[in-house]
Amino acid sequence: MNKKLARNWLYFIWGIANTVVLTVAFVTKGKVFKKIFFAMSLGFEQFGDFFGPICWHYQGINVYEIYDCNFPALGVAFFDFFSRILNVSDNTSQTGLMNSAYGAVIFMIFVVTTFILFTFAIELLVGTDIEKKWEKYYISISLVCSFPFMGYAVKTGNVVFFVLTLMMLAIGLKDSENKYCREIALLLIAFCAGMKIFPAALGLLYLKEKRWKESLRLVIYGIIFFFVPFLIYGGWSAICLFF
């Protein structure tokens, strides 16, 4: 089976799967979506990974002193950024923020921005192999409508899909002829590692290709993105609590 035929079959399967899901959702009047995406009770399950950290800021909570926080300080700072552009009272609960117009708009901006970056990443990675422009958007929309994105990343408000998108951009820029694009790739990998740690594994690609100078700069960027944000949340004590 040649490459073009295989890709066409993949599009066909995606199309059938999405059609079936939407048809079942329509026939059941949304009960399927509710059961799959919103089966858990309100609170830290639905959009909790997004609105929970935002509420911590308003409540004056140092997550490394009170909660068993399992993500680095850069992730906490990332949500602090959103909290500073939301105009809500300091006693707003997570559920209240989630149901507010402010919260809905901010979350929508976050999701739409991620989707736009994801579409650009798809074009950057496989643009030369895609013959028609519509195929790029079809791939993006199909993946975004998949369960990992809708059923987990959106439902929980987790930043994992955002981080994955930045990793894809980094891979697409890694071998660019433009030195500034290659440097941006290093910064993106370091930023992602500061958010979720596991993207640091991309550094192995540079070691495998014996790109020693870039590997060294990546380590420096990684240290900055990972450790410096901890200074905001208690410094060394926060680092000890995290580990």
Same structural domain for residues 30 and 47? Answer: no
pTM equals: 0.76
How many distinct structural domains can be found in the chain? 2
Same structural domain for residues 33 and 56? Answer: no
Same structural domain for residues 135 and 79? Answer: yes
Per-run averaged pLDDT (10 residues), the chain, 243 residues: 57 69 76 62 62 78 68 86 72 73 83 84 68 59 62 74 89 89 94 90 90 94 92 80 73
Q: What is the pLDDT of residue 22?
A: 72
Same structural domain for residues 31 and 20? Answer: yes
Closest CA to 165 of 191, 204, 128: 191
Same structural domain for residues 12 and 95? Answer: no
Q: What is the pLDDT of residue 115?
A: 81
Same structural domain for residues 117 and 13? Answer: no
Residue 78 region by backbone torsions, left for phi larger than 0, else alpha for psi between -120 and 50, else beta = alpha
CA distance 144 to 126: 17
Residue 46 region by backbone torsions, left for phi larger than 0, else alpha for psi between -120 and 50, else beta = beta
Domain membership of residue 110 as a residue range: 40-242
Q: Which residue has the tokens 């410096």?
A: 228
Same structural domain for residues 113 and 31? Answer: no
Same structural domain for residues 175 and 65? Answer: yes
Same structural domain for residues 7 and 123? Answer: no
Same structural domain for residues 82 and 166? Answer: yes
Q: What is the pLDDT of residue 44?
A: 45
Tokens found for residue 229: 């944000």
Same structural domain for residues 80 and 186? Answer: yes
Q: What is the pLDDT of residue 152?
A: 64
Q: Are 71 and 238 in contact (CB under 8 A)?
A: no
Q: What is the pLDDT of residue 43?
A: 44
Same structural domain for residues 56 and 106? Answer: yes
Residue 235 region by backbone torsions, left for phi larger than 0, else alpha for psi between -120 and 50, else beta = left
Q: What is the pLDDT of residue 66?
A: 67
